[in-house]
């Protein structure tokens, strides 16, 4: 019997969006509490060696009965190359402690909240845009997702659609949620890296919203390069990086690359 057996949770749902992207859900332990935007460590049972655990943002909101995750498949990745083959009722190791910096508590009060993501970095925002508290704290929430192709945007587009059609969440949104999806390798309505779309001011023109001000708050989750580029843009605008114990104008996830 593995020492991790008490941390096993059953897979309840799987969907492959592309050859390299999939989402899945597992049972949620009744005693697990988390804040939207946080991550947990998950892995697969391994009888021979110590299990490989990786940080995964919880993509489901705090009120959900299940835990959802959104994953990329790395061809020779120690975990994802095997995780891609999971089936319903398979066991997943879930370490019960959640943590992270992409939480509302790490931001000062503001008027607009920008959630900027690329790739699987959309996962924590999938949780946050389904959280009533997000709309209680901000007058407007702008969520962006940048991928190479339109197929890679399918997950975020479905989550946003579900938000707008959800019986309860749609009432909190009440026209507060704006979404903006762009691609970098395919011609679509909006094209380009989010950094370029911000510095060129194109995103503000496209959404017909005002440019960045001191009342705006930001969260971003993507590759290390994207996070560093966005951080520089915001620091140059005079905004400061926040943390759980020192709220400010923007936060990024440092624990892993999204």
Same-domain pairing of 54 and 167? no
257 located within any domain: no
143 located within any domain: yes
- Where is pLDDT greater, at 2 or 241? 241
Query: What pLDDT shows up at residue 184?
Result: 97
Tokens of 99: 């943590």
Place of tokens 């790490």: 106
Q: Is 162 exposed, middle or buried (0-12, 13-18, 19+ CB in 10 A)?
A: middle
- Where is pLDDT greater, at 227 or 46? 227
- Select from 45, 65, 94 the last residue of a domain: 94
Confidence grade of residue 258 (pLDDT, cut at 50, 70, 90): very low
216 located within any domain: yes
- Select from 75, 94, 113 the last residue of a domain: 94
242 located within any domain: yes
Handedness of CA 70, 73, 77, 78 (dihedral sign): positive
Query: What pLDDT shows up at residue 6?
Result: 86
Share of the chain above pLDDT 90, in %: 87
Same-domain pairing of 211 and 134? yes
Query: What pLDDT shows up at residue 43?
Result: 96
Place of tokens 């008027």: 111
Q: Find the angle CA(139)-CA(58)-CA(219) to the nearest 5 degrees.
A: 40
Q: What is the pTM of this model?
A: 0.95
99 located within any domain: no
Confidence grade of residue 2 (pLDDT, cut at 50, 70, 90): low
Q: Give the CATH number of the domain where residue 89 resides.
A: 2.40.30.10
CB 124 within 8 A of CB 221: yes
157 located within any domain: yes
Same-domain pairing of 144 and 202? yes
Same-domain pairing of 143 and 73? no
Q: Residue 211 sits in which domain range?
A: 104-252
- Select from 36, 65, 94 the last residue of a domain: 94
Handedness of CA 217, 223, 228, 229 (dihedral sign): negative
Tokens of 241: 């990086």
Query: What pLDDT shows up at residue 254?
Result: 74
Same-domain pairing of 159 and 180? yes
């Amino acid at each position: 019997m593995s020492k991790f057996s008490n941390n096993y949770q059953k897979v309840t749902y799987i969907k492959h969006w592309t050859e390299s992207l999939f989402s899945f859900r597992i049972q949620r332990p009744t005693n697990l509490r988390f804040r939207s935007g946080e991550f947990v460590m998950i892995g697969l049972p391994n009888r021979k060696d110590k299990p490989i655990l990786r940080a995964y943002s919880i993509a489901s909101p705090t009120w959900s009965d299940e835990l959802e995750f959104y994953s990329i498949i790395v061809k020779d990745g120690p975990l994802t190359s095997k995780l891609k083959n999971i089936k319903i009722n398979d066991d997943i190791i879930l370490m019960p402690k959640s943590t992270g910096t992409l939480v509302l508590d790490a931001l000062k009060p503001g008027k607009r909240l920008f959630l900027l993501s690329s790739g699987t970095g959309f996962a924590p925002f999938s949780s946050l845009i389904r959280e009533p508290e997000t709309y209680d704290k901000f007058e407007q929430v702008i969520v962006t997702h940048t991928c190479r192709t339109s197929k890679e945007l399918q997950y975020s587009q479905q989550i946003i659609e579900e938000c707008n059609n959800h019986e309860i969440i749609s009432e909190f949104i009440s026209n507060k949620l704006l979404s903006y999806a762009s691609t970098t390798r395919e011609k679509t309505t909006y094209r380009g890296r989010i950094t370029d779309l911000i510095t060129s001011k194109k995103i503000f023109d496209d959404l017909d919203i005002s440019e960045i001000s001191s009342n705006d708050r930001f969260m971003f989750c993507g590759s290390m390069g994207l996070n560093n580029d966005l951080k520089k843009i915001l620091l140059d605008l005079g905004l400061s990086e926040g943390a759980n114990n020192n709220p400010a104008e923007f936060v990024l996830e440092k624990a892993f690359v999204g």
